[in-house]
Amino acid sequence: MVIESYSFGRIVIGGKVYNADLIIIGEEIFPNWWRREGHSLCPDDLRLVVERKPDVLVIGTGAYGAMDVPYETEKYLEEKGIEVIWKPTAEAVEIFNGISGRKKAGAFHLTC
């Protein structure tokens, strides 16, 4: 799965435009991703990712990095054997697209 482009509030994958946060796992897209605490990422918000057991999860924290990834969430994912990378969304998209040969997932906040 390759993300074709990202700009504030908009991401294009496979020619389709998405205007809401989403999760990508392997070749599947899960649109309209909502978090329990809005701009703070909780382990519960990533239940689907953990169930699918990727090697690495790339988290896009928003155009300005407004979404927080608390230590507890990072630790939880690492205990499940998932490497965690989080960056502002534009940078996270580049990292996500650059990963090959590993089972990857992405969780992208598209705005702030």
pLDDT tens-place string over residues 62-74 = 999 999 999 999 9
How confident is the model over 94-107, as pLDDT tens digits? 999 999 999 999 99
C-alpha dihedral sign at 1, 21, 33, 31: negative
- Please name which of 96, 112, 111 lies closest in space to residue 9, comparing C-alpha atoms: 111
Check residue 38 and give its pLDDT: 86
Check residue 108 and give its pLDDT: 98
Q: Phi and psi at residue 107, in whole multiples of 5°? A: -130, 115
- Domain span at residue 55 reads 3-109
pTM for the model = 0.97
What CA–CA distance (Å, rounded) separates 18 from 12?
A: 6
How confident is the model over 1-26, as pLDDT tens digits? 899 999 999 999 999 999 999 999 99
Kindly state the DSSP code that residue 98 receives in the 8-state scheme.
H
If one counts the domains in the chain, the total is 1
- Please name which of 74, 61, 64, 66 lies closest in space to residue 109, comparing C-alpha atoms: 61
- Please name which of 66, 54, 65 lies closest in space to residue 99, comparing C-alpha atoms: 54
What is the domain-level CATH number for residue 104? 3.40.1230.10
